[in-house]
Structure 1
């Protein structure tokens, strides 16, 4: 089965495709964005989009007709499309704009803008709604939270307790967790706070008594089998886990990243964590690997195509073929 890419120009209106008109879907790992090298110590915002074929262990470039460069965006899979939310434009300014990619048609379109311009934010889908949290605007970190619903568009939600950028986000049983990050340009924090989406009587962010093992800037997090995993961050390359079924609750170091990436992303899939990122110290390179949470073993994947791509985002979504 091959990936279907249309040569049609960018779309600016909503589009839908019935799965009844498509062949069987398979899951595909997409990697977006980053910055591209220009000259020594200079980078500009990139617009790379690659997909990973699990069966062939290879990456494929997805071409696009119009260049839309941005960096430090949040990426989620939502209703069969990939949403690239916010970020930093090539002029260095944050944006509230949203780009939506339909992998079935190979189309790009403009999505609904957020209420706040921001980069270095996090986003996650919980119960059919997209939540955009934190980030940076100007020189200040944000604590604003907003959610996108099909009925109401982007709506304001209760802000976080701490201002955060470069933090991790994960969700479990309708509760969103924000972990670590920067509270300002100088301070790196270890605090964890949670937002219970389902609780009508308790819809505000709550500080967890059990923070991260240490302050972390730029970590990533994921939930697998009722366990919360946090990976990496500027303080090191450790992988720690918190088992919600265990008592007492505590963080346990179980492994280390085999690379110490400057920027990376983590995508949970089944019992595995797929990691893509870029190492910028010494020989620069982009890598991809998978961590099996049951065996605690790492497996290397084929490296993404082309030059190193810092600040990548990754997501898994279905790919379909036309009947």
Structure 2
């Protein structure tokens, strides 16, 4: 497991820790290049990708960096097209998606091979503090904040590059977590 950045109640962090359940220990590894909270962190092919968030000056970040734990090296990657705080991110079809964020309906897709970002279909609602996962070939974005807390769930269909409202949860949720079972 890996935990990166965040806020300790006083400061925005750049530190990163790895947990080893075999020996029940946390180890500090190379810090991120940028202090950030409200960011996204995904793993793909053994590398960690951290993107977006907010820095300690309250600026919404568009930066992205990767870390290879085997080599112990960080790498700055091409920034997103816009700064995103309180976004969510997933890996889908070998690409990374940066979804929504404070005041945003836009979604961007990162091509790992070409180090490029492309805008894709926009969400139907702003989604600050939503969560996302991939199930049955679709990206699902759940909850978040627009004018108030949302119960809605949107699904992305890559074949038509479109987000559709799927259903509503029983309870409105902001800053929740989701995992596919």
User: How far has the Cα of 1:212 moved from its partner?
Assistant: 1.0
Is residue 2:163 matched to residue 1:205? yes
Show structure 1 runs of 5+ residues with no match: 1-28, 38-42, 225-323
Q: In the alignment, which of 46, 50, 54 is matched to residue 13 of structure 2?
A: 46
> Counterparts of 1:148 and 1:67 in 2: how far apart (Å)?
19
SS for the counterpart of 2:180 is strand
Matching of residue 127 in structure 1 with residue 93 in structure 2: yes
1:165-314 equivalences under 5 Å are 165-184=128-147, 187-197=148-158, 199=159, 202-208=160-166, 210-224=167-181
Q: Is 1:90 paired with 2:56?
A: yes
Q: Which of 147, 154, 159 lines up with 2:122 in the alignment?
A: 159
1:89-130 deviation line (CA, Å, top 9, x unaligned): 111110100121111111112111001111100110011011
TM-score by length of 2: 0.93
Structure 2 unaligned segments of length 5 or more: list them: none
In the alignment, the residues of structure 2 paired with residue 212 and residue 176 of structure 1 have an alpha-carbon distance, to the nearest angstrom, of: 16
Distance between the aligned counterparts of 2:20 and 2:46, measured in 1? 18
CA distance in 1, matches of 2:2, 2:131: 19
Q: Which residue of 2 aligns with 1:118?
A: 84
Structure 1 runs of 4+ off > 6 angstroms?
none
Q: TM-score, normalised by structure 1?
A: 0.53
In the comparison of the two structures, how many residue pairs are matched?
180
Contact 2:68 2:74 in 1 (8 A): yes
Query: RMSD of the alignment, in Å?
Result: 1.5
Q: Counterpart in 2 of 1:78?
A: 44
Higher relative contact order (CA 8 A, sep 6+): 1
C-alpha distance in 1, partners of 2:75/2:30?
A: 14
Deviation, structure 1 residue 63: 4.0
Counterpart residue number, 1:14: none
Query: Which structure has the larger Rg?
Result: 1
